[in-house]
Amino acid sequence: MNEVTLLAASAVPVGKIQSRPEAPTQIVEHELLSDVVSQALGQANVDKAQVGAMIFSEPHIYTRQKYFATFMAGYMGMKCTGGVMEILGNGMTGGLVFDRAADEIRLGRTEVALALGVNLETAVPATEHMNYTMRATGDVDFQSPAGFTPISWYAMDAVRYMHETGATREQISSVALKNRKHAMLNPLAQFRKPMTMEDILAAKPIVHPLSLLDVPPRSDGAVCLVLASRRVAEQSGRPFLVLRGRGSYHEGVHQIADAPADMISFNAAQRAGLAVYKDAGLTPDQIDIAEVYAPCTIVEILVAEALGLLEKGKGAEQTERGDTTLGGRIPINTSGGCQSRGHPARLTPLYNALELYQQLTSQAGDRQVNGARVGLMCCELGNYNAALSHILEAA
């Protein structure tokens, strides 16, 4: 098996990019992404001809160009010996894209693979978008007709967590406050203005007990990662990360188990965590920073607990006291997380990998975690029914 490196990462700032249908001048998917690919290859110092695989996240249904991967191979004139394909796996999509691109190198099908995609959805109102997304997070005959929304499951995690641990709403929402502080230092973040706890508590209720500022915004984005063999990475003369470990687990559940179980232990994240630590030969206390897929504030707490980064049942309290803030014991989501960096859902794990790349290669500017060498990322689908985690280390 060949060693895999992350050699470059480029993206547009997360935000509202998608054109309204009636706009006389349109922003289109292939122009947006090909520009990001060009930047990423320049940053990696590799030639276009070296790219032998391109793994895309599948664009939303609102994206006009279909068969997007093969269209892009033509648009950019890419000849590939490895896979050219699109992947869809709900919130895990970007993680699976990264994973598959890494496999292309691991298996020796190419020495350079791109993990990339566009997410364009913000011109579609949230209430319309949910008519579609509710079908992905529930049984469409036996649950969705009750009116469950994707984040309603996380809200039920929050209600249960508060019941079991005595955590307060403010402690849970301190995740959003912390993430906003981080985003203010991230040029790629969607929301960079100062925010207070009063703002969070006064914001429009979305799903009890979560308000507009506890839940993810609507976001567009475009991102391209360059993964390479160690040989190519060393030849490039550029800084890079080495993929140290990988772990995944699907608990065989879609949203909720069909028998009573501990919903908030996020056991898929626990199992994926055990696997990734074992694969990397590391323990949670050896992780310097983590970028976790956490659409809502409560989710960041629960996944950090499941991965052993925060203490079980104390994650909200530990977040409030600053353990996961820049300068704290284990900085989490220095990008600003889903709430403030933004959440282009099908790319979020790729933006998380980009943050690890910038941090671990000391290119994170004002939000740099000094001396950070080892980073963990983790993504999920459903109500963390499945989790996929990777550990990267500075070369």
Partner 1 sequence: MIEHLVPMTGDRPYPPRTTDFTRTFWEGLADQRFLTTACTDCGKKTFPPKPICPACLSAKVEWVKLAGEGHIYSFTIIHAAPSIFAKETPYAVGIVDTVEGLRLGARLLISPDRLRISMPVSVARMDYDDGPYFGFVETKGDGADD
| Interaction site with partner 1 (CB under 8 A) | 125-128, 130-131, 134, 138-149, 152, 155-160, 163, 204-208, 255-261, 263
The nearer residue to partner 1, 68 or 161, going by C-beta atoms, is 161
Q: What is the CA radius of gyration of the chain?
A: 20
Cβ atoms 92, 388 nearer than 8 A: yes
Q: Shortest distance, CB of residue 90 to partner 1, whole angstroms? A: 17
| Rounded Cα–Cα distance for residues 386 and 99 (Å) | 14
- CB 22 to partner 1: min, Å: 20
Question: Per-residue DSSP letters for 126-167?
Answer: HHHHHHHHGGGSS-TTTTGGGT--TTHHHHHHHHHHHHHH--
d(CA 255, CA 125): 24
User: Which tokens go with 221?
Assistant: 């984005």
Extended beta strands in 266-369, E state? 289-292
Report the nearest approach of partner 1 to the CB of residue 248 (Å).
21
CA–CA gap between residue 302 and residue 214 (Å, rounded): 14
Q: How far is the CB of 199 from partner 1 (least distance, A)?
A: 18
Q: What is the largest CA-CA distance in the chain?
A: 57
Instruction: Give the residue with the Cβ less far from partner 1, 249 or 357.
Output: 249
- Of the two residues 246 and 254, which places its CB atom closer to partner 1 in the complex? 254
Tally of CB atoms within 10 A around 194: 8
Among residues 67 and 132, whose Cβ is nearest to partner 1?
A: 132
Q: Which is nearer to partner 1, 111 or 305 (CB)?
A: 305
Residue 143 vs 368, nearer CB to partner 1: 143
In the complex, minimum distance from the CB of residue 330 to partner 1, in angstroms, rounded to a whole number = 28
**DSSP assignment letter at 286:** G
The minimum distance between CB 153 and partner 1, in angstroms, equals 8
